[in-house]
Amino acid sequence: MKQFRNMAYPYVVWIAIMIVLPMLLIVMYAFTKKGNDVTTFRFTLENFTYFFSDPIFIDVLERSLVIAVLTTVICILLGYPVAYIIANANPKAKTMLVLLITLPMWINMLVRTYAWMGILQDDGVINGILGYFGIAPIKMLHTSFAVVLGMVYNFIPFMILQIYTSLTKMDKSLLDAANDLGANKLQRFLKVTLPLSLPGVISGITLVFLPAVSSFFIPKLLGGGQYVLIGNVIESQFLTSGNWNFGSAISLIMAIIIMLSMYIAKRVDKDTSAKTGGAK
């Protein structure tokens, strides 16, 4: 036991340096402001009151939450059927399909987003195809459609893999029992498959919603700077305005929202597991 404890020390040090220390710095900057002397700081809540009193920042926060929720819902609607098909495929096809889902994730997310810029621009691939049919170019880049599309494309593999894992762990004998009791395919899905796969759906929601609500380079590239989300505001406060105190306050607000989301997801997951007998 002592040997395993000693092996854990490097990870504890890593967590302290890379996670705990930056979080403490964010909290310190969020609740302080520079005094008359540049080397002194004073405790204040002005950073938070300024954020919540400015309707522009509230509008950006609401827009970020709406985009994150919309992205998550689309990922569920598209990801669940794909995960279901993969889970019910034969072993050889299942391996190939999982590979196809994970293959784009081997490429850097920034590179994948840049690729979508070339596809969606006015003289891009899609408008080039439409031009062959005599259809005028459609404005797609630098719109909310492009931002949502980019987020769904980048985050949907997390949803698919979580639901797929939950479906593969499901006890297939329960479906046989439902079939013996006279349930049709729709009833078996609604009464057995869907409830037992909900833990995977909830895990997928967490993995999609959290990065979507704080994303900054996807709306920056595909939105062209015209579609500002809360992640872009935080980036500008740190890199452009140099207002680390206000940027830290916004980061702390987002951290609280994310932790609340994770807490709600955990509670829902626990309640779901209790109703389904703990099956996952």
Per-residue CA distances from 108 to 39, 115, 118, 152, 230 (Å): 40, 11, 16, 16, 22
**pLDDT score of 280 more than 50:** no
**pLDDT score of 62 more than 90:** yes
The total number of residues written for the chain in this structure: 280
H helix runs in 88-108, sequence order:
91-102
Domain-embedded: residue 280: no
| Number of compact structural domains in the chain | 1
**pLDDT score of 279 more than 80:** no
Mean pLDDT of the residues in the chain: 87
Q: What is the pTM of this model?
A: 0.86
Per-residue CA distances from 184 to 170, 177, 180, 188 (Å): 18, 12, 10, 6
Containing structural domain, residue 47 = 14-275
Asked if residues 120 and 126 have their Cβ atoms less than 8 Å apart, the reply is yes
Average pLDDT over residues 111-127: 89
Share of the chain above pLDDT 70, in %: 92
Domain with residue 93: its CATH number is 1.10.3720.10
Domain-embedded: residue 1: no
> Could you tell me which residue, 276 or 50, shows the higher pLDDT?
50
Interval 154-206: pLDDT, tens: 999 999 999 999 999 888 888 888 888 888 888 888 888 888 899 899 999 99
Domain-embedded: residue 6: no
What pLDDT does 275 receive? 63
